[in-house]
Amino acid sequence: AQSVTQLGSHVSVSEGALVLLRCNYSSSVPPYLFWYVQYPNQGLQLLLKYTSAATLVKGINGFEAEFKKSETSFHLTKPSAHMSDAAEYFCAVSELTAGNMLTFGGGTRLMVKP
């Protein structure tokens, strides 16, 4: 069974600092990997996805993530944090099973200090 681990349930950075949110996965087959963002009182919005093309994936709002098969990681980064980036971020993996199920990590709440 696949699983996703997000290191750090809460991450705090200063405005303008590097954002690094960690995600490690386990999967028996080459996975599809996703980062979703959830702003307060809203649903989930796709930030970016890896579907076996380029290993460095660029998403919306300046975020990017790198798929590293040898490390089974898919960490999310942004060079310079903005106050509007404060949200909860979820890493997810899909093996495209019949149920089309996404397996999510526990989430990381990003706080941005002025």
Partner 1 sequence: EAQVTQNPRYLITVTGKKLTVTCSQNMNHEYMSWYRQDPGLGLRQIYYSMNVEVTDKGDVPEGYKVSRKEKRNFPLILESPSPNQTSLYFCATPVGLDTGELFFGEGSRLTVL
Q: Residues in the site for partner 1, rule: CB under 8 A?
A: 4, 6, 9, 32, 34, 42-44, 46, 49, 51, 90, 92, 94, 96, 98-102, 104-107
Cα–Cα distance, 43 to 51 (Å, whole number): 23
Q: How far is the CB of 86 from partner 1 (least distance, A)?
A: 17
Question: Can you say whether the dihedral through the CA atoms of 88, 83, 16, 111 is positive or negative?
Answer: negative
Q: How far is the CB of 90 from partner 1 (least distance, A)?
A: 6
Q: CB burial class (10 A; 0-12, 13-18, 19+) of residue 97?
A: exposed
Cα–Cα distance, 105 to 114 (Å, whole number): 28
Nearest to partner 1 of 12, 14 (CB atom): 12
Nearest to partner 1 of 4, 112 (CB atom): 4
Q: How far is the CB of 8 from partner 1 (least distance, A)?
A: 12
Nearest to partner 1 of 70, 100 (CB atom): 100
